[in-house]
């Protein structure tokens, strides 16, 4: 689960991380008052979307102006003007995809004078199964680009969970970032606080790009924060779960999560409804083998009810890219006749604009096939996985 920058900063502040004062606004009418509560003389007006690269992003609409999603302002009025221009408009960055994301929230922050921009991240390293620090002097830019062109400028190391965070970890980061004097102590403390936040809140990633050194004081400050959490741990973090912004999520994936369906939208033309993740993967593979592309991964689970099957159908058919549907269910614990009834009920409720191939196998399979055959609906029955895949690809591609 992802949260917005302003939410991440509020959370990190509770862990003692240095962040600027700021106000989040949902309406342009509130922007001026919000900016007025900050000291100035510099304000930063930042589009809040669940994607990075906002500064270099571009708005689709001309009304939003030429600038990107992170804008400097030198008066309260100018800050309010930027907020008004960006709210409701579509920001495209290298992380949003070409369709971009609508900006529904703006964060107005007290501006900082920057001496240096650094890069810092904590993440779960799958190779070591440990929390890793990643840092680089090349802050403020695309870290993927730094990794590709100058990998020697990135330091990464993991923390042994048996001893947890130790001051030497922080010093390692400090020296890699070229910090000196009082900054080293600050860094050791900040890294410890960030590590504690990461572990206590079950984060998956915590990226601070840039972590800055302030002009004049040379203190450290968290200037941007991108945080994602382990979705499976949200049951024990009610405070974090509350921060979820559903408008940032794919509506189909959101509906699926509400009905406990494992659904991931893809770019292809064949909608798949399958039970079991392994069978779902195999179904996607075989669709590709016969020359088409799956429109989604969907695992309705072992105990799919009629209601769940109907919901799954609704989600699949709401995708305009879907030109055909393949239902591939193995009735193990579930009986094929129950599944067949669910499919028929779903088709009757949702309607069917595209070809539908159903392959059933397992308990009560004959009964299930009869139910489909006698339904009077235009459903193509398939005998096995190969047959099902061939039939749906033929129905879609001709």
Secondary structure (3-state) at 243 = coil
Binding ligand GDP (rule: CB under 6 A), the pick from 1, 19, 44, 91 is 44
Task: Find the shortest distance in angstroms from Cβ 72 to ligand GDP.
Answer: 6
- Distinct helix (H) and strand (E) counts, the chain: 13, 19
Candidate list 78, 117, 245, 319; residue touching ligand GDP; CB under 6 A: 117
Q: Running DSSP on this structure, what letter comes out for residue 103?
A: -
277 close to 344: Cβ distance less than 8 angstroms: no
Which position among 10, 15, 28, 55 is part of the footprint of ligand GDP (CB under 6 A)?
55
User: Minimum CB separation from ligand GDP for residue 202, in Å?
Assistant: 24
Q: Which of residues 141-160 bind Mn ion (CB under 5 A)?
A: none
- Beta strands 356-362 and 324-331 are parallel
Q: Of 118 and 338, which CB lies nearer to Mn ion in the complex structure? A: 118
Helix/strand/coil (H/E/C) assignment for every residue in 137-197: CCCCCCHHHHHHHCHHHEEEEEECCCCCCCHHHHHHHHHHCCCCCHHHHHHHHHHHHHHHH
For residue 43, with 0-12 CB atoms within 10 Å meaning exposed, 13-18 middle and 19 or more buried, which class applies?
buried
Residue 224 touches Mn ion, criterion: CB under 5 A: yes
61 assigned ligand-binding residue: no
CB 107 within 8 A of CB 49: no
Q: Does 40 bind ligand GDP (CB under 6 A)?
A: no
Q: Least distance to Mn ion from the beta carbon of 20, Å?
A: 14
Q: Which is nearer to ligand GDP, 144 or 267 (CB)?
A: 144
Angstrom distance (rounded) from CA 373 to CA 370: 5
386 is in an annotated binding site: no
Cβ closer to Mn ion: 6 or 330?
Answer: 6
Asked if residue 334 belongs to a known ligand binding site, the reply is yes
Binding site residues for ATP, as ranges?
46, 53-55, 109, 112, 117
Binding residues for ligand GDP (CB under 6 A): 44, 52-55, 70, 111-112, 114, 117, 140, 209-210, 223-224
């Amino acid at each position: 689960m992802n949260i917005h920058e302003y939410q991440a900063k509020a959370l990190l502040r509770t862990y003692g991380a240095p962040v600027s004062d700021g106000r989040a606004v949902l309406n342009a009418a509130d922007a001026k008052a919000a900016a007025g509560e900050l000291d100035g003389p510099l304000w930063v007006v930042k589009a809040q979307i669940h994607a990075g690269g906002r500064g270099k992003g571009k708005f689709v609409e001309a009304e939003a102006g030429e600038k990107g999603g992170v804008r400097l302002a030198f008066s309260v009025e100018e800050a309010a003007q930027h907020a008004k221009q960006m709210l409701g408009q579509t920001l495209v960055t290298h992380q949003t995809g070409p369709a971009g994301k609508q900006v529904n929230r703006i964060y107005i922050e007290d501006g900082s004078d920057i001496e240096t921009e650094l890069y810092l991240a904590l993440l779960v390293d799958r190779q070591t199964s440990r929390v890793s620090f990643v840092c680089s002097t090349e802050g403020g830019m695309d870290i993927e680009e730094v990794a590709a062109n100058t990998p020697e400028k990135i330091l990464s190391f993991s923390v042994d969970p048996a001893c947890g965070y130790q001051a030497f970890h922080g010093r390692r980061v400090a020296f890699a970032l070229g910090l000196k004097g009082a900054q080293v102590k600050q860094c050791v403390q900040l890294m410890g606080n960030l590590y504690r936040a990461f572990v206590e809140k079950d984060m998956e990633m915590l990226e601070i790009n840039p972590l800055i050194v302030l002009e004049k004081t040379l203190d450290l400050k968290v200037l941007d924060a991108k945080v994602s959490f382990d979705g499976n741990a949200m049951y024990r973090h009610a405070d974090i779960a509350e921060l979820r912004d559903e408008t940032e999520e794919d509506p189909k994936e959101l509906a699926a999560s509400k009905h406990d369906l494992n659904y991931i939208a893809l770019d292809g033309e064949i909608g798949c409804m399958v039970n079991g993740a392994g069978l779902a993967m195999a179904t996607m593979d075989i669709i590709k083998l016969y020359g088409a592309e799956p429109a989604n991964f969907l695992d309705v689970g072992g105990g799919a009810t009629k209601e769940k099957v109907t919901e799954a159908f609704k989600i699949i058919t709401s995708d305009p890219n879907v030109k055909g549907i393949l239902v591939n269910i193995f009735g193990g614990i579930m009986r094929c006749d129950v599944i067949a009834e669910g499919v028929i009920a779903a088709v009757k409720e949702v309607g069917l604009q595209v070809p539908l191939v159903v392959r059933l196998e397992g308990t009560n399979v004959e009964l299930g096939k009869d139910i489909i055959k006698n339904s009077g609906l235009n459903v193509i029955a398939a005998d096995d996985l190969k047959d099902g895949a061939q039939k749906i690809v033929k129905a879609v591609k001709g």
